[in-house]
A and B are shown apart, each in its own frame.
Chain A
Amino acid sequence: MGKATRQSFGEALAAIGEKNPALVVLDADLGKSTSTGAFMKKFPGRHLEFGIAEQNMIGAAAGLALCGKVPVAASFSAFLIGRLETIRVAVAYNKTNVKLAGTHAGIGIGEDGTSQMGLEDVAAMRALPNMTVLQPADDAETRQMTDWMVAHEGPVFIRLTRQNVDDVHDAAYRFELGKADTVYEPAGAKKGVKLQAAVFASGGTVGPAVAAAKDLFKRGFRVRVVNAGSLVPFDRDAVARAAADCQRIVTVEDHNVNGGLGSAVCEALAVQGLACPVSRLGLTTFGESATGPELYDKYGLSAPHIVEACLKNPG
């Protein structure tokens, strides 16, 4: 098991701070949880604490950005989208160079329960023009996305896990905006024979998806796992390839199935006129308190559920 992506993000920010004097980090009393502590320690003058007042933090970030700073405003993603209208006007509509870091994505956070879980944040952010939406799967991808995000001119939302995640990328991996990457391709695929399934996962669900594909491989089923780190813009070509190469698509996201990754995949199929059965694993309800792994089991995101979905068509 690797690090939580929030942890990798915090370390990356502290490293970027050395090279980029315009970078400032804003917190709303959750610095200890969003992992901005390393930046805070190294650059106290560029860490701006706003207290429990996210709207003001986001608005101030827009003002800082309009004056040449590169502000990263961090909080739980559930609390950031609680201020959606502020994000809509001050960040998206104004096209300000604000980076929103939403941590504590999904039921993976565990015991703290529903009010702390970001479960609709991707849907909200996908609906905003000018917003880039990213969700890294592991340490390597988080570092690269963080570098990219700070260098990029324009609004970005990055979604991060509280829980530790498996490393699914090797050192050679290079993040590319708008591209999904295949993190597991089964060996021995025969020409003219479709793979059992393609699993599209993002963030905390990529590890379970790879585990499921490896398990299925042992049992004679070939399944591809695609990591959709770039949620907006979204890689429609990867979906078209999956529809061509595989019998079915399974999407798995620690988020509501409406408006998130599952929706993005179905939209990509529909607008390209492609037909392929899709099972969407994710939430249709709120969450609850328990350990993260227990909740992944209960809400259908763990490897055994992904295995099951790969073996049959939906419905």
Chain B
Amino acid sequence: MPIATPDAKTDLKALTRELRVDIIRMLETAGSGHPGGSLSVIDMLAVLYFKALSHRPSEPAWPDRDRVVLSKGHACPALYAVMAKAGYFPKSELATLRKLGSPLQGHPDRLRLPGIEVSTGSLGQGLSIALGMALAAKLDGKPYRSWCFMGDGEVQEGQVWEALMAAPKFKLDNLVAVVDYNGGQIDGQVKEVMDLEPLADKVRAFNWHTLVIDGHDLSAIEAAYAEAAKTKGRPTAIIARTVKGKGVSFMEGDIGWHGKGPSKDEADRAVKEILNG
């Protein structure tokens, strides 16, 4: 299988447009799924896989690969789009999302899809698992890094704070936690359901190197990943301000688009807008 990893000159912006279209079409075909959180995290996953990650799509079990934990497992359409583009599996498989027998489960399943590091979907668990992976790298003196992508609502889970407490204790400077802070969750706005603020201060107080960025600014994302790689002695948290449904005006900021697939007409409108955007 050819590896489609773009080089440094790749037009990332064009790439993210293509990935957004893939997400929309995938969810349209599936008839269900989570567009809002997929579109808010896609820019960060795209920059990761095409600019920062140490990986070999043709050899998903390469022992020294970086580990990626999509703790906000419901955003897996974004991960699947990125993985297909990177060459983990043929793009045609995206159309099987959520269908009987598909490796592309409604939430990621590591035993069905090579390249998925861990099956997720129960919010709040991913950071602990990513922490364990980073700890294994340290114990073995290996160079790989561990990346965890969380939703903002997920940070309400107690287990996240257990992991936030533990990672600095183990001096896991090979661990990066990214919070996709799109401000929305199923029951409403995060700030109303259970406010996280002041989130950066809290995470900083837990002894993480903490960055706050615009999670749709591709160069800011790239710079944050580079800074995380340079940070020694403690883990890095990247709190990324994002827009739920980013790139599709009628989905942006609308909680209604947290967990439903677009109709044919809605998908066509969304794709047109993405390609013109």
Residues in chain A within 8 A of chain B (CB atoms): 24, 45-46, 48, 50-51, 53, 55-69, 71, 85-86, 88-90, 93-95
A67 CB contacts on chain B under 8 angstroms: 67, 132-133, 136-137, 140
What is the minimal beta-carbon distance from B171 to any residue of chain A, in angstroms?
13
Interface pair A53/B129, CB less than 8 Å apart: no
On whether the beta carbons of A48 and B159 are closer than 8 Å, the reply is no
A65–B129 Cα distance when bound, in Å, is: 9
B119 engages A89 (CB within 8 Å): yes
Measured in the bound complex, the distance between the Cα atoms of B110 and A66 in whole Å is 10
User: B121 and A55: CB pair below 8 A?
Assistant: no
Is B135 at the interface (CB under 8 A from chain A)? yes
Taken together as a complex, chains A and B put the C-alpha atoms of A58 and B111 apart, in Å, by 19
Contact of B122 among A61, A63, A85, A95 (CB under 8 A): A85
Asked whether B119 lies within 8 Å of A60 as measured between CB atoms, the reply is no
The 7 residue pairs across chains A and B that have the minimum distance between CB atoms: A63-B132, A59-B128, A67-B136, A56-B162, A60-B132, A53-B162, A63-B129
Whether A86 pairs with B139 at a CB distance below 8 angstroms is no
From B129, B158, B166, name the one whose CB has the most chain A CB atoms within 10 angstroms. Answer: B129
Which residue in B111, B127, B132 is a CB contact (below 8 Å) of A64? Answer: B132
Contact with A along B159-178 (1 / 0, CB 8 A): 10011011000100000000
Q: What would 5 more interface pairs be, CB under 8 Å, given A55-B158, A61-B132?
A: A55-B125, A56-B128, A59-B125, A71-B132, A85-B122
Q: List 11 A-B contacts (CB under 8 A).
A: A56-B128, A59-B125, A59-B129, A59-B131, A62-B118, A63-B118, A66-B136, A67-B67, A89-B119, A89-B120, A94-B119
Closest A residue to B133 using CB positions: A63
Interface of B toward A, CB cutoff 8 Å: 63, 67, 69, 110-111, 117-122, 124-137, 139-140, 146, 158-159, 162-163, 165-166, 170
**Neighbouring A residues of B127 by C-beta, 8 Å:** 59
Q: A63–B139 contact, CB under 8 A?
A: no
- By the criterion CB–CB under 8 Å, are B122 and A68 in contact? no
Smallest Cβ-Cβ distance to B120: which chain A residue:
A89
* Interface contact A48-B111, CB-CB below 8 Å: no
Q: How far is the CA of A90 from the CA of B110 in the complex (A)?
A: 11
- Given the interface pairs A66-B117, A66-B133, the reply to whether A90 lies near B125 with Cβ below 8 Å is yes
Across the interface, which residues of B come within 8 angstroms of A57, CB to CB?
Answer: 128
Residue of B63, B119, B146, B165 near A93 (CB, 8 A) is B119
In the complex the two chains form, is B117's CB within 8 Å of A51's CB? Answer: no
Q: Considering the chains assembled together, what is the distance between the CA atoms of A57 and B165 in angstroms? A: 12
Residue in chain A with minimal CB distance to B166: A56
Given A51-B166, A67-B67, A68-B140, A59 contacting B159 (CB threshold 8 A):
yes
